[in-house]
Amino acid sequence: MRLLIIALMLQATVAAADPDVLGGTPREQAMRLYTQATKMFEDQDFIAAAVTFGQAAQLLGRVDRDATGAVIDKEAHTFRNAALSNRATAYSRAGLYVEASAAFSELRDQFASELADQDKAEIDDAIARIEARIGTVVLKGLPTEDVEVRLDGRFERRPVDKPLRMSEGAHALDVTAKGYKPYVAEITIEGKKEVVHEAALVPLDTPSKLRVESNVGRTAVRVDGVERGMAPLEITLKPGKHHVSVSSESYLDTASDVVLEPGARSIVHISMIHARAPLGLRIMPEFFAVFPGRTDTPFGVWNQTIALALFHDLLRVRTLRFGLEVAWTPRTLNSVATGVIGTWCPDKTTWQRITWCPVSLVASYGFGGNEGPFESGIARARGVTALEMHRGAGFIRAGIGLTLEDYKENFALNNGMTSYRFLMLWSGTYELSAGLDL
């Protein structure tokens, strides 16, 4: 602090003027310092006098008592009392009331048992008068890190996020913080009042570079809520704090805050997590409403199909998932069908926990028996649009669509020979399923 610097300068000055000032025993050194401090006080150099009186009192404190606290050098003890009193008075004359209050309190505490009631009353009265000339300042708007505060040129070592006691009058405030322009202001303190000062720090204008990387391809990047493009990307921003968020289908949205230093280049690498597990096992009971195109076929009735579909993200292109389906239909000609299934279903919910899956397509081949002139061995295609509601790893799904089936029908010709033809039959499809994403 400034007082310590002054004290060191005083020691150098005294040593240059009198080579014996710092020589001899601690008692002799203290007495010479006391004499020097008295001369400084008479010359109204009160800050220097206060520092030097304090040095003298510190040295006298080594010799005036023994290890038990008993006074062994009455003269040194008397001079230490006087040095502490003079230090407090010098601080008060210099207008450093916070230091003066602390000095008078130290005098009272160290000599309480030896002071007369009148002396105690005078010290208490002096402290009260000084305290009336002390106020506090609360500094707002300061960064939490890399900030340096100076008051009247002295580096502030007290926590600057708490009220600071200061002597009344005008004080110079200097703030330097990383990433901001130097801030200078004058604060006027009034006794027994609290002043709140908002430090309006201005960020440096030197642009910063920000590079955003992701472990997922086709990742959309937003910076401070504004779309910036696809990762990886590098952009120029103003220094300071920025909010970076990334999103990609099949992955959870991820965000991170970054503080950019003026003129610096920062890299943010964001690791995204799958929104659902790689293996999706779905047991889907499907119900077909059949609208018969012919009344002489066995397909003009309602029937049910029970299917098991298995998906894996190794067979996935963004939100398009592929898998295998095995379906059992308890009707005569196509009892079992196997095929491939593809479903386009975004991982993000569109309304609360409900997601709209625009289309699911199944292409399969059925195996079964014969009935009259009709033979199995059919191709089937099914298209469904559905809604899914997710909770945890489970989901339920409801959809509606169309199914197109190809059957073979044998018939007799007029010449007694047999021929066949294919029947393309369609039916409405209602799907209801429940499953797990494991």
Distances (CA, A) of 156 to 1, 145, 151, 176, 255: 8, 15, 7, 12, 37
- 438 residues of the chain, pLDDT tens digit each: 333 333 333 343 343 334 444 457 889 999 999 999 999 999 999 999 999 999 999 999 888 888 888 889 889 989 999 999 999 999 999 999 999 999 999 999 888 888 888 888 999 999 999 999 999 999 999 988 889 999 999 999 999 999 999 999 999 999 998 878 899 999 999 999 999 999 998 877 788 899 999 988 778 999 999 999 989 999 999 888 999 999 887 678 889 999 888 888 999 998 888 766 555 566 667 766 555 555 556 655 566 777 878 777 667 776 787 888 887 776 655 667 777 888 887 766 566 678 888 888 888 887 776 777 777 667 888 888 999 888 877 888 888 888 887 777 787 788 778 787 777 777 778 888 888 777
**309 and 408 fall within a common domain:** yes
**48 and 105 fall within a common domain:** yes
Note the pLDDT of residue 5: 32
**66 and 101 fall within a common domain:** yes
End residue of a domain, out of 270, 297, 313:
270
End residue of a domain, out of 248, 270, 292:
270
Residue 136 lies in a domain: no
Q: What is the CATH number of the domain that holds 110?
A: 1.25.40
Distance between CA atoms of residues 102 and 107, nearest Å: 9
Residue 29 lies in a domain: yes
Instruction: Locate 397 and state its tokens.
Output: 């799904």
Distance between CA atoms of residues 334 and 375, nearest Å: 9
Distance between CA atoms of residues 242 and 67, nearest Å: 61
Residue 33 lies in a domain: yes
Q: What is the CATH number of the domain that holds 233?
A: 2.60.40.1120
**309 and 251 fall within a common domain:** no
**415 and 322 fall within a common domain:** yes
> 15, 96, 106, 17: which is closest to 49 by C-alpha?
96
Residue 335 lies in a domain: yes
Burial code of 322-357, b = ≥16 C-beta within 10 A, e = fewer? bbebebebebbbbeebebebbbebbbeeeeeeebeb
**364 and 423 fall within a common domain:** yes
Note the pLDDT of residue 337: 77
**304 and 362 fall within a common domain:** yes
Say how many C-beta atoms besides its own lie within 10 A of residue 82's C-beta.
Answer: 17
Number of structural domains the chain divides into: 4
Rg (CA), the chain: 45
**62 and 105 fall within a common domain:** yes
Note the pLDDT of residue 134: 93
**185 and 220 fall within a common domain:** no
Is there a contact between 10 and 52 (Cβ–Cβ < 8 Å)?
A: yes
Residue 67 lies in a domain: yes
pTM: 0.46
Residue 203 lies in a domain: no
Distance between CA atoms of residues 28 and 48, nearest Å: 20
Residue 231 lies in a domain: yes
Note the pLDDT of residue 194: 94
Residue 261 lies in a domain: yes
Cα-based torsion angle of the residue sequence 33, 37, 38, 41 in order, rounded to the nearest 10 degrees: 180
**26 and 148 fall within a common domain:** no
**425 and 331 fall within a common domain:** yes
Domain hosting residue 408, numbered range: 279-437
End residue of a domain, out of 245, 270, 295:
270
**320 and 344 fall within a common domain:** yes
